[in-house]
Amino acid sequence: MHRPSTRLAAVVLIALVATMLAACGGSSGAAVQKVDAAKAVGMVDSRVVIDVRTPAEYAAGHIAGAQNIDVEAADFAAKIASLDKKASYLVYCRSGRRSAIAADTMAKAGFTDIVDGGAMADLVAAGAPTE
């Protein structure tokens, strides 16, 4: 038979563990904002812009001032590890799939301010300058 104080302690412990797990899981998602192209274009000048496409895609044209860090390259984690985790970032790719992966990976790595700008074509259509 369990004593009431033991049962209460177990319930409190379970509640604390559940709260901690929810906080850890929610903290990475809170760092990523998904915005429409027009809003993302308005943020280009105030954020570090990262093109997460392949180097060949980047060379064919990219948002002006963007740096290229290929999310599917083996060294993606190492390259983002050298970035300032407290800076503000905007990531984009060709269709939005890779930018979502990159943004999530960055959030899990401790970055605190990431905007997923989605597809480059949408950004260009909304007025983003290219080079």
For residue range 6-48, what is the model confidence (pLDDT) as tens digits?
554 444 444 433 333 334 444 444 689 999 999 999 999 999 9
The answer to whether residue 116 is domain-embedded is yes
**One domain, residues 71 and 113:** yes
For residue 131, pLDDT beyond 90: yes
Q: CA 58, CA 98: separation in Å to the nearest integer?
A: 14
**One domain, residues 76 and 16:** no
CB 92 within 8 A of CB 123: yes
**One domain, residues 36 and 68:** yes
Q: CA 40, CA 21: separation in Å to the nearest integer?
A: 31
The CATH number given to whatever domain includes residue 115 is 3.40.250.10
Q: Is 93 a catalytic residue?
A: yes
- For 108-111, the CB contacts below 8 A with 24+ separation are 108/28, 109/77, 109/80, 109/81, 109/85, 110/85, 111/31, 111/80, 111/83, 111/85
**One domain, residues 40 and 90:** yes
The answer to whether residue 117 is domain-embedded is yes
What is 71-101 written as a DSSP string? TTSTTHHHHHHTS-TTS-EEEEESSSHHHHH
**One domain, residues 24 and 48:** no
Count of the separate structural domains present in the chain: 2
Q: State which residues form the domain around 2.
A: 1-28
pTM: 0.77
Residue 66 DSSP label: P
Given this model, what pLDDT does residue 31 score? 87
Q: Which of 63, 80, 90, 93 is catalytic?
A: 93
Given this model, what pLDDT does residue 1 score? 52
The answer to whether residue 131 is domain-embedded is no
**One domain, residues 98 and 119:** yes
